[in-house]
Amino acid sequence: MNPVTLTIASRSGKTATLYRHDSLDVYLPLIVLNARNPSASELFVQCQELDCKPFNLLVISGFDWNNDLSPWQSDSVMKHDGGFAGYGPKHLDFIVRQALPAVFTQLGFTKKDTLPPCYLAGYSLAGLFALWAQFETDVFSGGVSSSGSLWFPGFFDFAVTQSMLKTKYPKIEYLSLGSRESKTRHPLLSQSEQLAVALSSHFKKQGAVCTFELNLGGRFTDEWLRLAKGITWLLQEVQTKTEQ
């Protein structure tokens, strides 16, 4: 895949980088990934080893991790994290109103065309964002939350009392954690596995196709592999649904 950096007017310095599949099929599923940097070479290596279904990828980078990915304001929960400003709604607006239209224009779509399905993916706090955003917009048909920060204050109660906005197809959700992530004395982080299992069960009851996977290791073990496993599972489910 050859990356194309899209020029989007943004005072925040955010960057949208499009990776088109070698087939140049514009109707492939579009994975939108919030990441710290635009490089996705390791993700593609891992996806190839897992025999992942083809997809196009949009990497959003250049944003403030804690502030732009947090759905609402929250005080610091760990030493030196600086707290969370809750700029998630603004960041989501940037993705939906600026980045995605630029991508579809780059791919040759017009306003009258049927667009390919979009899925949101992320790791850690970006994994939280991938789930939260689906309560705010119907643009995404599912998501990948790898080692998602589901402990974020107020998120679990929010998620189980809200309904994800309807899309044409049932939501497809992948949640994962590392086996050591909950083995901590931190009052919030120690609940990570319990929250992930409960959310997975809740999403299934809401009609979503959902799975939860527990990987060996801690929070930052095999980050790209965990994302690749989530994307691979999700796209296999997309194909299964399409063939039914």
Query: Which residue ranges make up each domain of the chain?
Result: 2-243
Instruction: Give me the CATH topology for the region 2-243.
Output: Rossmann fold (3.40.50)
What local confidence, expressed as pLDDT, does residue 181 receive? Answer: 76
Apex CA 22: angle with CA 104 and CA 232, to 5°? 85
Which value, in Å, is the radius of gyration of the alpha carbons in the chain? 17
What local confidence, expressed as pLDDT, does residue 7 receive? Answer: 60
Residues of the chain with pLDDT under 70: 2, 7, 9-11, 79-80, 166-169, 218, 244
pTM of the model: 0.93
What local confidence, expressed as pLDDT, does residue 168 receive? Answer: 60
